[in-house]
Amino acid sequence: METQVIIVGAGPVGLTLAIDLGRRGIACVLVEQKAEPQFLPKMERCNARTMEIFRRLGLAERIRAAGMPEDVPMDVQVIRSMAEPPILRLPYPSVAEARVLTRESHDARLPLEPYQLISQYTLEPLLLEVTEELPTVTVMRSTTFLEFTERDGGVLVSVDDDGGVRRTLRCAYLVGCDGGVSPVRKQLGIHLEGEGDIARLRQGLFYCEQLYDRLPVGSGPGRGRHYLVAGGPPTFMIMQDSTRHWTVHSAVESDDEMRRMFERIIGIDLPYEMLYCAEWRQNLLLAERYGEGRVFLAGDAVHLVIPTGGLGMNTGVGDATDLAWKLAATLQGWGGPGLLASYEAERRQIGERVVGASRYASLGYRAWLAEVRAEIGDDTPAGSVARAHLVEVANVEQRKSNEMIGAELGYRYVDSPIIDNVPGGPQHDLRAYLPTTWPGARLPHMWLKDATAIQDRLRPERYTLIDVVGGHDEGPLLAAFETLGAPLDVLVVADPALRAVYERDLVLVRPDMHVAWRGNRLPQAVDELAAKVTGHSNTNRASDSVSSR
């Protein structure tokens, strides 16, 4: 079998990559060892940036319909048990409330799409169904990747199906989205660097039909998405998208202890079933490289983080969307040789920041957990003092896990070979998002005068030059892109509010919605700008800037 791209691994990252490539007309083969997606409790939240990516793939509403109902509270609570008033409640808007806030916001500080809680065992089958609907994508289930060989300007990939039949596939590019033990990464000889096996916990998946409905609405012990237990071994419980399934992570030693922990958390006698229980290890690891030659890596194959902060799978989706348009551009003939080379330059720095953000969030959780005193559950003056002290600490430290909007939306590519590398730029802030069109940043969401979102006006397969004042002659840049065969749209939206946020008259946006260049007029050497952002430039150094300063 011959194809353009082979993807190993049909988790959310591999599936997103296959969908993105398939919708760009790229022929793909997706190789997956499992016969069907597994009902296992892994990730449970698509963050705002991931939902914007899924919106561009036409999947946001389909994912929301399959996920947690939009009116479910997103509160985080520190508790002794769910039968008692919480020690601390951190309120966060439901999806419905967040969407209202977005509709009413006109300063670009909020994302176009809020987060969505959807369990991985719900998301994977949905994405797989979408993938199998695409005529450009072939899914090979029950098929094990064996090895690859680069040869004659392509890659030969050996696989083994469930009948024990070895087959050889040929492709132009291979992508390993095959998890933390990635066989593709291991064959490349690429190592993971950082902190491994930091701690070990057990994870249990429970089904409890009555629990959510028994939780009161409003103040007191109530509904939320995360319940963090104060006292005993480190333990927290997460509501899954059905509101009937719950995952518990706890530093206990056995399945029986996990059952007793669940009973302690809920605090009342309710029928339940433990569907799954296994040990997992906390890691903060980053691959030394993101690929080699015609072979690339994405997702957990290159970064393993502690789930605290919810950045792991979401960062992998960012990897997929960055790699997809660059692979497509290269295979379609208009992407220059520097385009695919920029994948590692851009995404590894994000992986490094995410590892740091995950460490920051985890340390926040550990900081307040260390302040739990033995008398915290006592109905005594000492108990009241212990609870007040914990509230004071946890109200600061736990927010480090739950308020990561800067890490989600505010990351930008620094010293990328395919953007205009203007020196300086805003500081990276994990906790806060400051809208900016500084080259490398995500284009901030803004509503236009006709109440449409500017992101929806940008076609995902093309660059877009946004003119926010009107009256500029974009012809020279259009001609420069046409010479390279690269697709460019011009969007004129003369709007003072947009100009105030975007800070320049002209903003050039890449197919992945990241800013490549901005200025108040086009540079004289528009051919150099076009060559740089499409990977054709021979001088892709950080110091090279084509700004019209």
- Domain architecture of the chain: domains with CATH: 5-69+115-194+285-359 (3.50.50.60), 415-533 (3.40.30.120)
Residue 542 has pLDDT above 60, yes or no: no
Mean per-residue pLDDT for 281-302? 97
Strand extents, DSSP E, 88-225 = 88-90, 116-117, 137-140, 143-151, 154-161, 166-171, 173-176, 192-207
Q: How many angstroms separate the CA atoms of 125 and 121, rounded? A: 7
What pLDDT sits at residue 164? Answer: 85
Percent of the chain with pLDDT over 70: 97
Cα–Cα nearest to 351, from 322, 307, 326, 319? 319
Residue 1 has pLDDT above 90, yes or no: no
Residue 454 has pLDDT above 90, yes or no: yes
Number of neighbouring beta carbons within 10 Å of residue 453: 16
Number of neighbouring beta carbons within 10 Å of residue 279: 10
What pLDDT sits at residue 547? Answer: 55
Residue 493 has pLDDT above 80, yes or no: yes
What pLDDT sits at residue 162? Answer: 81
φ, ψ at 320 (rounded to 5°)? -65, -45
Number of neighbouring beta carbons within 10 Å of residue 15: 29
What's the predicted TM-score (pTM) here? 0.96
pLDDT in tens, 198-238: 999 999 999 999 999 998 765 555 789 999 999 999 999 99
Q: Which residue has the higher pLDDT, 161 or 453?
A: 453
pLDDT in tens, 313-324: 999 999 999 999
**Of 111-115, 193-197, 327-331, 421-425, which range is least confident?**
421-425
**Average predicted confidence (pLDDT) for the chain:** 95
pLDDT in tens, 328-347: 999 999 999 999 999 999 99
Mean per-residue pLDDT for 141-169? 94
10 Å CB burial of residue 338 (0-12, 13-18, 19+) is: buried
Percent of the chain with pLDDT over 90: 92
Mean per-residue pLDDT for 496-514? 97
Residue 81 has pLDDT above 70, yes or no: yes
What pLDDT sits at residue 217? Answer: 65
Number of neighbouring beta carbons within 10 Å of residue 487: 17
pLDDT in tens, 365-414: 999 999 999 999 999 999 999 999 999 999 999 999 999 999 999 999 99
Q: Is the four-CA dihedral 43, 49, 51, 57 of positive or negative sign? A: negative
Number of neighbouring beta carbons within 10 Å of residue 112: 22
Mean per-residue pLDDT for 160-189? 95
Q: How confident is the model at residue 549 (pLDDT cuts 50, 70, 90)?
A: very low
What pLDDT sits at residue 347? Answer: 98
